[in-house]
Amino acid sequence: MQFIREENALIGRQEGETLRIEPWGPDSLRIRAWMYGSRSGTDWALTETPEAAQADITLFEADEPVGDGSFTRVPNARVENGRISVTVNHRGVMTFCRDGKQILREYYRSYGGTLVPRSRCLKIVNREWKGNIGGSEYQLTVKFDAREDERFYGMGQYQQPFLNLKGNVLELAQRNSQISVPFTVSSLGYGLLWNNPAVGQVIFGRNYTEWTARSTREMDYWITAGEDPKEILKKYTAVTGRAPMFPEDRMGLWQCKLRYRTQEEVLSVARAYEKEGIKIDQIVIDFFHWTVQGDWKFDKTYWPDPKAMVDELHRMGIRVIVSVWPSVDRRSENFGPMMERGLLIRTERGAAQTYDYQGDCVEIDPFNPETRKYVWEVCKRNYADLGIDAFWLDNSEPDFGVYDFDHYRYFAGPALSCSNMYPQMYSRIFYDEMARTGEPVVNLLRCGWAGSQKYGNVIWSGDVPSTFESFQEQLQAGLNIGLAGIPWWTTDIGGFMTDDVNDPDFQQLLIRWYQFAVYSAVLRMHGDRGPYNIPPLDERDWGGGYLHTGQPNELWSYGEENYRIMKKYYDVRIGMHDYIRDLYREAHENGSPLIRTMFYEFPEDPVCWETEDQYMFGSRYLVAPILHLNQFEREVYLPAGTWENVNSGEKVNGGRRITVPAPLDEIPVFRRC
């Protein structure tokens, strides 16, 4: 590889590949490579102007053995920016150091290099470009050497029980309840953003780490060095964006169920909460309040005067959020105009259909600016102009009928090349216009990507089962998505799918999940509650009345004792208002999540790096959720210092494990003294 300096960047060229390395904020580097003239020039998640940094670029020669015991001199280069540096050898193989100590090296097992001479015959190169037949994109594979002592965190949300992702294979693709946010925090003191929205895969293997993009024009990743995870996340969110300040009037209870079918149902629930003396901050109107998918308007049969409904809710101090799906039914009044103007996703083969739940649908293409304009104008006219405050952007992955990503194409290119960015572009249909008003924007989405935090997105963990196993997975999901830079995260309390609300085991799960949600970013009641014995409002196969509804899901719906416990913890939540406001401010100022891994607050404690079943709610509260059925005590690890048990008032010295009681009406929580 031949090297040159180009202003504040190092450029290397070899066999049709161009490599560009430059500083991108303090202690950080952006690494890009492309073949021939295929560079896209897109910043993807790196939307913020980085703090200026001057690179120290050194070109030098190093000895390379030629096989007969002699050496030849070959070009090498080094780029330093504060605490991080990278050395590139003559084959383009990169070695990264933090404070002079190696933290990451590309995996290279081929001829022409001295890194691992014992396995040159494998012919495995560090960056493999395979041209996609008939297209201008490549399948790109980038490999790094593995370290046995390294742990990986972040990467968004995956439905699996592991906090430490070492040994995991993760699909880089969006699905219902799976959120790919390709930023990882390493225990070795660095963070890496795979700045590419292509569908692919990452393997955090014991033998090597491998990143794959199935269709792309360039390699693009950003790497930073930091003292601890908090500093790493601060640097990451400085270049990808931070969440706005969360409004104080939505930090309490959000009420939702599948589904309120009429405006009178919504009002009756709101009036009942007011009578009970419980303030709800926001009430959610779920799907099929509309006529058909893609009409994006209330069905007048069951919502005859939505503005009057909204006005009454506003008088109670309740915000109103409505469900909007990206799917457009062929029966919709918007289908013909949108299809004709190319505003919907294009299928590469066969019939035009991307989604088939409750209709023959094609989903919108938010990469197209004309699509964004069209959808917003309809939703503004039918919702925002009536006083609706926010939007529940469901199915935002999008939820394809079949996840055959090579079958779809967007305005921005093949879905394989950019589909992971779909939920972010979908959210911007609403955020970009709502932000113009100067009012806080808080929309609810089922998915996101790197940088989604800056677009007013509350992201929830999707349609997950109502089981303790799933509850355990949501804890890991919430902690990891926070480390991927997204602090506004929530779940369906009790899980989404319940067969029988009268099952005592489910009700126990509901209480344990509710207690956890009190100590998380957003407290939100939602779920599809069986048994399904409530008849539909009419027999049509369309409109707001035909689809089923679930059982009641208000706090008082599960009996007096459960209501007592939920009311008790509702009061706990309201009592923490000022503290929660401070946590949201911290997220806005430095990117810190509200729920945090133990090592985020105690990086010097090795036990905290291994503790995965408890967490910190901000810097003050240690929360140990009950994750198993009929568990009424549990072990808790307290880091060094003095801790107060918030249930008993007892003060305890840390640096050890203790066993604490956990009756159904208590979640173990300790306050840092």
Nearest Cα residue to 367 out of 349, 344, 334 = 344
Which of 522, 586, 595, 593 has its CA nearest to residue 245?
586
Q: Quote the distance between the C-alpha of residue 495 and its chain's center.
A: 18
Q: Which helix (H) or strand (E) holds 570?
A: helix 560-575
Task: Return all residues near 645 (Cβ < 8 A) that are at least 6 apart.
Answer: 651, 652, 660, 668, 669, 670
Two tokens, residue 473: 């997975």
> Using the 8-state DSSP alphabet, how is residue 132 labeled?
P
CB 394 within 8 A of CB 426: no
**Separation between Cα atoms, residue 156 and residue 154, nearest integer Å:** 6
User: Closest Cα partner for 32 from 217, 224, 236?
Assistant: 217
- Kindly report whether the peptide bond that precedes residue 259 is cis, defined as omega within 30 degrees of 0: yes
Helix (H, G, I), strand (E, B) or coil at 378: helix
User: Which amino acid appears at position 510 of this protein?
Assistant: L
Residues acting as catalytic residues? 394, 397, 463
Q: Which residues contact 671 (CB under 8 A, 6 or more apart)?
A: 620, 621, 622, 643, 644, 646
User: Cβ(298)–Cβ(266) under 8 Å?
Assistant: no
Run of H or E including 319: strand 319-324
d(CA 622, CA 596): 10
CA-based angle 116:142:454, to the nearest 5? 140
List all residues 6 or more positions away from 636 whose beta carbon is below 8 Å from its beta carbon: 614, 622, 624, 657, 658, 659, 660, 668, 670
Give the β-pairing of 390-393 and 443-445.
parallel
Radius of gyration of the chain (CA): 26
Contact 161, 472 (CB under 8 A): yes
As beta bridge partners, residue 11 has 4, 20
d(CA 293, CA 299): 11
By the 10 Å C-beta count (0-12 exposed, 13-18 middle, 19+ buried), 648 is classed as exposed
Q: Which of 444, 440, 367 is nearest to 408 (CA)?
A: 367
Q: Which residue has the tokens 């001295």?
A: 114
Beta carbons within 8 Å of 52's beta carbon, 6+ residues apart: none
In the numeric block, which tokens belong to residue 150? 């390294």
Beta bridge partners, 142, equal 127, 211
Query: How far apart (Å, rounded) are the C-alpha atoms in residues 453 and 482?
Result: 10
* Residue 415 burial (CB count, 10 A): 29
Tell me the C-alpha distance between 339 and 359, whole Å: 16
213 near 175, Cβ under 8 Å? no
Q: What span, in angstroms and rounded, lies between the C-alpha atoms of 43 and 50?
A: 12
